[in-house]
Amino acid sequence: MHRYEMENPLLQIYPANMRLTKQQQHAALYALANDMKVRGGEDLADFVRIALNEMAALYEEEARRSGASEAGKSLAYRWTDSTMTYVNDLYRIADAVNATTPIDITLDNTDDLMLIIDGRPWLLSSPVLDEPLLLDDRIIDRVCREMSCDAESTALEEEAHKRVIIIDADWVVAGNKPPEYVTSNGLHFVFKDMDNRSAKQIACLKLIKEMELLAGSLRDAVIRGVPMDRDPLTIQSLYGSYDYRVRLNRFGDTLYIKLPELHHVQGWTTLLWPWVRARMDDRKIEHYLQADAMLSYALK
């Protein structure tokens, strides 16, 4: 048995309730911020200092990365200069915060977390758009490392956004048949031989967990009553990333999901769709895959 914890994809139902979506995404940080707000005093000041410092560090990292990758382009330099001015302001405000500083934590009109420090608003935001929880994770990790945070409630909040995937799979070698890595729910990865067995198994497991993530997320959408178009769904990769947009129906309901391993498999949406559809419908089918060619990117 192999057990994995993966981030739940984002299901966006049209018309999108972006306010609810944002609350669901950032629930763990919101819970921690509320806890610190209740405590007040030095705990609240420490939380705010950490939040500002982590946000400043993230913007500084992105500014330096942008400046290095876009050297010679005046627009990049202007972005870097303005960002570093903002970064220095964040560090300065963080250094000035203490237990007597008037502080409030609230949500703005788009449900982003806002720190009100001595009457001035500071919106907690991240420059890394394709990792919306990166800043949250950095703040939570540091607060719970340096302070006494309610780790249990934070873990529960984070758990709500995790999907536990259990994979039951093993090798099957019988007679003169080619070896297979087979899952209990019908996936057969067929290889020419057992050479480099460990690497083959690892590559299979990486694909299987993403297939299970996709199938389980689609099944959850069906359970929630989201209408689903018949085969096949429209699955499109988002340029410059491993993110995929799965259009569920003509109304525009959409699943956004990261699939870094499947992304390397040419034609995977057609190749794997029969098994994914069966898993969505809670059916079992025996689905055979020519794994040497399929996993060539990982077995070079």
Q: Where are the domains of the chain?
A: 18-159, 168-294
Could you give the CA distance from residue 44 to residue 130 in angstroms, rounded to a whole number?
29
| Ranges assigned E (strand) in the chain | 2-7, 10-12, 103-107, 113-117, 120-123, 162-167, 169-172, 180-183, 187-190, 234-237, 243-247, 254-258, 287-290
pLDDT band for 144, please (50, 70, 90 cuts). confident
pLDDT band for 129, please (50, 70, 90 cuts). confident
pLDDT on residue 256: 86
Lowest-confidence region among 23-32, 166-175, 195-204: 23-32
pLDDT beyond 50 at 107: yes
pLDDT on residue 75: 52
Widest CA span of the chain, in angstroms? Answer: 78
Q: Based on C-alpha coordinates, what's the Rg of the chain? A: 23
Share the mean pLDDT of the chain: 83
pLDDT on residue 121: 92
pLDDT tens string 217-250 = 888 888 878 888 776 778 888 776 778 888 888 8
Could you give the CA distance from residue 267 to residue 204 in angstroms, rounded to a whole number?
16
pLDDT beyond 90 at 52: yes
Element (H, E) at 240: none
pLDDT beyond 60 at 180: yes
CA end-to-end span of the chain, whole Å?
Answer: 26
pLDDT band for 2, please (50, 70, 90 cuts). confident
pLDDT band for 136, please (50, 70, 90 cuts). confident
Looking at per-residue pLDDT, the higher value among 163 and 260 belongs to 260
pLDDT on residue 22: 61
Looking at per-residue pLDDT, the higher value among 179 and 82 belongs to 179
pLDDT band for 168, please (50, 70, 90 cuts). very high
pLDDT on residue 152: 47
pLDDT beyond 60 at 69: no
- Predicted TM-score (pTM) of the model is 0.55
Interval 46-72 mean pLDDT:
82
- Contact (Cβ atoms closer than 8 angstroms) between residue 262 and residue 241: no
